[in-house]
Homo-oligomer: A and B are copies of this chain.
Amino acid sequence: MRIAIVAPSSRFSEEAAARVREIAAAHFPGVELFFHPQCFLTHNHFAGTDQARADALVEVADDPAFDAIWFARGGYGACRIAEDVIGRLGPAARDKTYLGYSDAGYLLAGLYRAGFKDLAHGPLPQDAMREGGKAAVVRALGWLVEDNPASLEPGLKPGMRHAAFNITVFGLLLGTPLEPDLSGHVLLLEDVSEHDYRIDRAMFHITATPSVRRLAGIRLGRVSDVPANDPDFGEDAEAIVRHWCARADIPFLGRADIGHDAANTVVPFGLPPL
């Protein structure tokens, strides 16, 4: 089992890579992790230039020697390369598992639209640096290495298609060439470090979009590290999401066990393997 790690967004660190290697060696000794050198490049905000990030991702995705692509971290930058990368990918890229969340959602979205079958929203190598992050890395590798059902979000419904995204990322890929058709899907959403009014504004936009109104429903993960609002917004994330779902006649299907934290679980896109 060979897993390639690339960083399509913000800069990754040798320190995080070392933590992940250590956890993998202890729990999945047969697994080979390849941290592409691009992970450690720096260009402004990013893990290398757009060209470097795109080339690294295409290189490992098209290499039949790898079984899975694991996105190193979120941050920002995947939207700048996603369309180009997906247009360049060859057949070997379709035989792989892809795992990530947050900013990597732009890639998951575009790959899902392009018909890739084995995509999942779940922990990233960078999560190794969180308090309790070892469990997140073990959960992610459990999914990548052995399809361990213990890694899965506990509320996935057999026979229902699912997808999961960061609220802000999902809103800003609607209408673009990365937008997937999520008709009939249960959409799991989460966010971090956004003011309540930004969540409200994003949910206005998301739920007013005609394609989103064809969802089977929305489940809300954790919305964490919400900056203080002055004046107080008066509604928390769940109240906000319930409000917009009701207005748009989209079923609100309760909470979900995903978020920007060490407890984040795995949500395969499409039908769950249950």
* Residue ranges of A at the interface with B (Cβ–Cβ < 8 Å): 11, 42-45, 76, 79-80, 83, 171-178, 196-197, 200-202, 204-205, 208-210, 229, 231-235
Contact = CB atoms under 8 A, between A and B. Distances in A.
Nearest to A75: B197
Contact of A173 (B80, B83, B205, B233): B205
Contact of A176 (B11, B176, B208): B208
A200 B80 CA distance: 9
A233 B204 CA distance: 28
Contacts of A11: 231
How many of these chains are in the complex? Answer: 2
B229 A201 contact: no
**Consensus secondary structure, chain A interface:** loop
B43 A234 contact: yes
Contacts of A234: 43-45
B44 A175 contact: no
A79 B176 CA distance: 21
Given A171-B172, A176-B209, A178-B208, 9 more contacts: A44-B232, A45-B233, A76-B201, A79-B204, A173-B205, A174-B205, A176-B204, A176-B208, A177-B208
Contacts of A171: 172
